Structure formats: structure tokens, C-alpha cells
Structure 1
Amino acid sequence: MNKEKLKELESKINNEYGNIAGVVVLKDGEMRYEKYFNECTADSRIHVYSVSKSIISILIGIAIDKGYIKSVNQKVLDFFPDYIVKKGEKTIQNVTIKDLLTMTTPYKYKFAPYTYIKYFMSDNWLKFTLDLLGGKGQIGQFRYTPIVGPDILSGILMKVTGQTVLEFATDHLFSPLGIIVERNIFFRTAKEQSAFNKATNISGWVADASGLNSAGWGLTLSPVDMASIGKLLLDDGVWNGKQIVSTEWIKESTKEHSRWEKANLLYGYLWWIVDDGFAAIGDGGNVIYVNKKKNIVISITALFKQNVTDRIEFIKEYIEPIFENCIS
């Protein structure tokens, strides 16, 4: 590969993408690049924010493969028969797993920041979210819900498997791939949560007081961990000869099911659909990028920073071209 191009890339990262913590590139199944920034190392673990959603998507697929869930067309409330629907509310009764996966579910809140504060203070994120489900919006209209919404999927996984999401993920996804996520993380104060968002040395997955792991955020990973996830999907769900998640699920979850018309962005089952592939994208510029045509996986971990430059554009323009013709 072109060493001068790599020097240019690293200079650009330091000068223009200064919050990047690590970059890993796999080409044709081989590690071609692994580099860390901002005093991070291979041992660092970064909060990858909404990349967590795409992990949940894989776990839902595994749960379906194993028969815990019959279909994405099952209605959400079928899993929570004890939940009491308020009088006059009908929309919530028709919401399906697929609606949650494709971000086409209506919610009652309008101003997310205010809702988030109440959410973080809640001891039961599942009930909090169910109470906001439905409203006057139409099922089928894309509405991206970064935090309040995906936790219902965590609740379903807990209900059908009898395990926490972290336990289920460890048994059926993380351990087979050699990924270690050490523990549940609980916050007692807003200060603890703020410290977690800035930390680089905490291995875990955030959970509420009931043990429900957050589905839209809260997972810490390394770029090697994320590249392994990407490689699993690139290889149609097979890892070291073992089928971890079905090929059918990967194909279904990484094709267009909905669209954010305002931004002209395509969405699968908690994966963003991009040219020749798909991506998991989290706040601050955390990314798992998979290009099926070029047989390449690129992962980036990043320290949180608001309003970061588009990382998919950065990958396609500055990283991918260096490695796409790389030969062993």
C-alpha cells in the first residue's frame, strides 16, 4: 500500500478529524490497518453510541434464528400482556417489531431533549418507552428515534430469552467473535453518565435499574471489535466456519426498508444503507462500514464531539481508496 497516502491520511485525521480514537481496515478478510489516536490503544473501549442499535439488530436476528421470536411481524404488545394500554389508544396496539427496526413507529413526544432528561431519570426504560409509543402519528412514516424507542427491542429480547441483552449477546455473538464486554454499567448520577461518555477504559453496556440494557446507546467497543462485527456480516453471518446469524437475516436487515426523505438516507433494520453496502453510525463519528462489492470493512471509534463531519464521506474519499486495491 502507499505509505505516503497513509501519512496524508493520518495527518488529515490529526488536523481535521481530531476526535478519532482508532481506525481499523479489513480487506479480503485480512487486517490491513490498525491505528490509534488521542492517546488511545488497542485496550481502549469507547462509547459507540448508536452503533449499539445495529448490534441489537443482529441479536434480534439470532433470536429469530433460534426460535425465541417467530417473526418481525409480531406485535410488540404481544410480548407484554401485562402492559395496560390507556383508553382510546389504538395505534400502539398495531406496532410490530419490524416497525421498531425500521424506525417507522410514531411516538407521543415532540421535543426529544426534554424527554431524554426524564428518560435518564427513569428506573424502568421499557415502561417509559412503552408509555410514549403510539400517539397521533402514522405507522410507516420514518422517524429516527436515537434514544427513546429502541429499548422496547431490549425488553423483547429479555422477555423471550430469560437473559439480559448483555448475557444473550455474550453467549451468542460476542464470545464467538472474541469480543469481551465485561459488565452492566449503572449510573447513579448525571455526573457518572457524563464521565462515562468521556471515558476510554470502561468495558460494558449501560443498563437501567431493572437490568435492561440500553438499545440505542451505551455499549463500549474497540475498533477491532467493530471490525469483527462488520466482517461477520460481510461473510454472511459465518465466523470461523460457524453460522452465528443467518444469511437470510443479514440480507433482510441490510437492505432498504424505509427512508429518511428529508436527508435522503436509506434505512434497513437499524442499519444505514450506503452505496455497495451498509453502515452502523453512532454519535461523534463512530462507524462500522461494510462494502460488499469491494470486500472491505472499515471501523472507526471516536470520542464524543457535536456536529462532526460526515464520516461515511470521509471513509469513501480518504480511507477506502488506499486499501480497495490492496493485495496480500
Structure 2
Amino acid sequence: MRRISIRPSLSSTRRTIAALMLAIALPTSAGQYQAPKQADDGWPSADAGALGWKTATLATVEDKIADGTYKKITSVVVADHGRLVYEHYFNGGSADLLNDVRSATKSLTAMLVGAAIQRGAIRDVTAPVYAFFPDIHLEHPDPRREAITLEDLLTMSSIWECDDDNSFSTGNEERMYVSERWLDFALNLPVRGYAPWVSRPKDSPYGRTFSYCTAGAFVAGAVVERATKQPLASFAHEVLEAPLGISQVKWNVSSEGIGMGGGGTRYRSRDLAKLGQLAADAGRWQGKAVLPAAWVGKMLTPHAQARDDADYGYLWWQFRFPIGGVETKVWAMGGNGGNYVFVLPERGLVTVITSQAYNQGYAHAQSQAIFRDIVLKALP
């Protein structure tokens, strides 16, 4: 019986190897730039290539998400001088998804404080916080706490013993979440001390000792509610969301029903970009003033040093990124999971990155890497 060989010929083997090598060399999902589609939400769109962007660089975000370099990213949206130039959704994200941006909400609370001041509901940032809550029972009254101002809360530099980065802290946010009355919890926090390795305010940059405190941002939102006599969500709709054409949003409330100004608000990615554009354009949206330019200027001014590599405005982060070899300061709304709205006002740049990498150690680093290594390097 004649045997039939099933071994491939040498030439066919070479062709197979060559094909495999080519497949390995090609990206698993080669990103190809496409300009965002025009919608009826007020955002004009533009072709990034026509504006001088390096579109091949911009599109690599799609490759890196496809190959697993970046994980759990759900959207990347980029605006250049008020025009959307990039928009892509991943991992179940979509244009209609309400993204839980966690602590990025804090920056929104700062905007609402400015709107309340503009309307005369709050005098200014020097207003004493405890004066808004005469009905709250204080277990251990302390005149030092009564001197805490709204600005202390906006800059994360009050004298409360409150540190979300320290699980032993009395004011750690996880302790607040399980309490029956969050406002009582926060206003009854003890006065902090200073370990030998912690700089006191007089020895700190900007004269403030920073300590990340979600309870403080929550109380700032509660001040807005008390001052405006409106739920935080209603006031936000009136002064921000409606003027920006934002129609879909979800606000959380505390166990006693106070608007959660410290985190968890949900917005669509394009709407987050509108909030960023508002900051980038000194409080204007499509030429119309929504927030006072003076307030946005104060909000985006460093008031405390958060870390060696970051400063803090009024509930906004200020990071430093290289652009063309020059260290450049960039403002950001930031939240757990790697959710960011990056704003570079002098360049007219707004970048939204939403992510569901909640409580993952890589979350913030990878979102910042997308902005630093892709968006900024793709700039004209």
C-alpha cells in the first residue's frame, strides 16, 4: 500500500512560518483614527488630522486596550478648543453609559460652591462651616472646629482628624459610610494632631497641611444644600447641567438623604467633557458664562501641596506632565478606578478617561499613562 505523506513541503512550511511571523508583527486590533460623529448634544466635532494631531499616535490607545496593556478602560474622549477630536468606547462602555466617576464628583462640588457664592447664598470661602448647621448636636464642642472655613474643606486642609489614606484615621471615609448620619459623623470629628514626620501648616507650602478627606467634600456639598435650600442634585441641574445641555445624570445621597458631594455621581463621557470644557474656558460653554471666571481662576489655583508631585486647588488636582520635554501643569478631576477629566486651559485641551478598575493598584497609573504617553504625544 502506498503511503501518502501528510508532511508539508518545504516551500509551504516557509510560507506558513512567514504568515505566522506577519500575524505576530501586526497588532491584534490595529487602531485607525476616525473623527467623532456629530450628535445633538451641543458638541461640535472636528478631524484631528486636519488640526495637526498625530492621529496614528492617538489611535494606539485602541491597540493597547485590545492587547491588554490597559485594562478596564471604558472610554477616551478628547476635545481641542471646544471641538471633539477623539471618541472611543471599550469594555462595555458606550456614549449613553452613566459612568461612576467616584471622587471626580468632588471637583463638581467645587463648581457648585462657586455657583452658590455667585447667587449670594454663600458669602465667600471664608464662611465658617459650623454656622450652617446649628441643629447638629456636637458631642464635644471645640472653638477650634468652629473656626473651620469652607475654604479649609475645599483645599482638604481642615483641622479635622480625617485621612482617607489612613485606615486608622477617625475620619476615614469607610467609617462615615456605615454611620447612620454622615453629617453628624463629620461635624463631630476630633481635631487632628501632627506626627513628627508631618509638616504643620506654618511649615507647609501654601500654609496648609493637606489630608485627603471625603467627609470634608461631603460637608461642602451639604453647605451648598443648606445655603441654597435645594437638594444638591436640583441645584446642580439648575446651575450646571441644564446650561450645559446635560440631561442624564445620577446623584447619590447619604443615609440621611443629603446629596453626596464627595463621590459617586454618574455622567456620560461627553457630558464629563463639558464639565472639563467649562473649566478650560474660564466658566464659559459655547461663549455663554455658566460660572464666574474669577471663581474658576481661584478653583484652578494651587492652595495646598497634596504630594511631592501634585498640588491641589479647590477640590481639583494639579499634576505635572511633560509636553515636548517641558514639564507642564495640568488640572484634573480624579476618582477611584482611574476616572479622570484632564484640563489644560492654555492649550484648550480636555481629555476624559473613564475606567472601572475600582480599587486596583494600577488604575490611576494607567489612566495617567494614556494621557501622558498617547494624548499629549499626539498633540499638534
CA shift for structure 1 position 216 = 1.6
The residue number in structure 1 matching 2:181 is 124
Distance 1:281 1:258, change over 3 A: same
Distance change in 2, residues 1:88/1:161 (3 Å): closer
Tell me how large the CA RMSD over aligned residues is.
2.1
| 1:247 correspondence with 2:293 | yes
Structure 1 residue 87, shift from structure 2 partner:
4.0
Among 257, 260, 268, the alignment partner of 2:313 is 268
Q: Pick which of 267-276 and 158-167 moved more.
A: 267-276
Normalising by structure 2, report the TM-score: 0.74
Q: Please say which of residues 222-231 and 5-14 is displaced more in the overlay.
A: 5-14
How far apart, CA to CA, are the structure 2 residues paired with 1:176 and 1:88?
A: 42
CA distance 1:144–1:118, change in 2 (3 Å): closer
Residue number in structure 2 paired with 1:286: 339
1:143-202 Cα offsets, whole Å, 9 max, x none, are 112x32211111111111111100000011011111134xxxxxxxxxxxxxxxxxxxxx
Indicate conservation of the 8 Å contact 1:20/1:301, yes or no: yes
* Counterpart amino acid of residue 273 in structure 1: Q
Provide, for residues 3-27 of structure 1, a one-character-per-residue CA deviation record: whole Å limited to 9, x for no partner.
4324422112332221111111001
Partner amino acid for 2:122? I
The 5 A counterparts of 1:1-328 are 1=49, 2-14=54-66, 15-87=68-140, 89-108=142-161, 111-112=166-167, 115-132=172-189, 134-136=191-193, 140-145=208-213, 147-181=214-248, 203-261=249-307, 263-274=308-319, 275-305=328-358, 306-307=360-361, 308-310=363-365, 311-322=367-378, 324-325=379-380
Secondary structure at 1:150 match in 2: helix
Contact 1:222–1:301 under 8 Å retained in 2: no
For normalisation by structure 1, the TM-score amounts to: 0.85
Q: Percent identity of the aligned residues?
A: 29
Aligned CA distance change for structure 1 residues 235 and 109 (closer, same or farther; 3 Å): closer
Q: CA deviation at 1:109?
A: 5.2
Letter in 2 for 1:321: K
Alignment correspondent of 2:34: none
Structure ID, larger Rg: 2
In structure 1, give the amino acid aligned to 2:88: K
Deviation at 1:270, TM superposition (A): 0.3
What secondary structure is seen at the aligned counterpart in 1 of 2:142?
coil
Contiguous gaps of at least 5 residues in structure 2: 1-48, 195-199, 202-207, 320-327
Instruction: Please tell me the residue identity of whatever aligns with 1:21.
Output: T
Could you tell me whether the CA contact under 8 Å between 2:72 and 2:356 is conserved in 1?
Answer: yes
Identify unmatched segments of 5+ residues in structure 1: 182-202
Give me the whole-angstrom Cα distance separating, in 1, the residues matched to 2:329 and 2:276: 14
Instruction: Give the superposition deviation at 1:309.
Output: 4.5
- The 1:133/1:264 distance shift into structure 2, 3 A limit, reads farther
Residue type at the aligned position of 2:85: R
Contact 1:77–1:93, Cα closer than 8 Å, also in 2 = yes
Q: Aligned AA for 1:171?
A: E
List per-residue Cα deviations over 1:221-256 (Å, max 9, x = no partner).
Answer: 122111101111111111233211100001111011
Asked if 1 retains the 8 angstrom alpha-carbon contact of 2:305 and 2:311, the reply is: yes
Matched residue count: 301
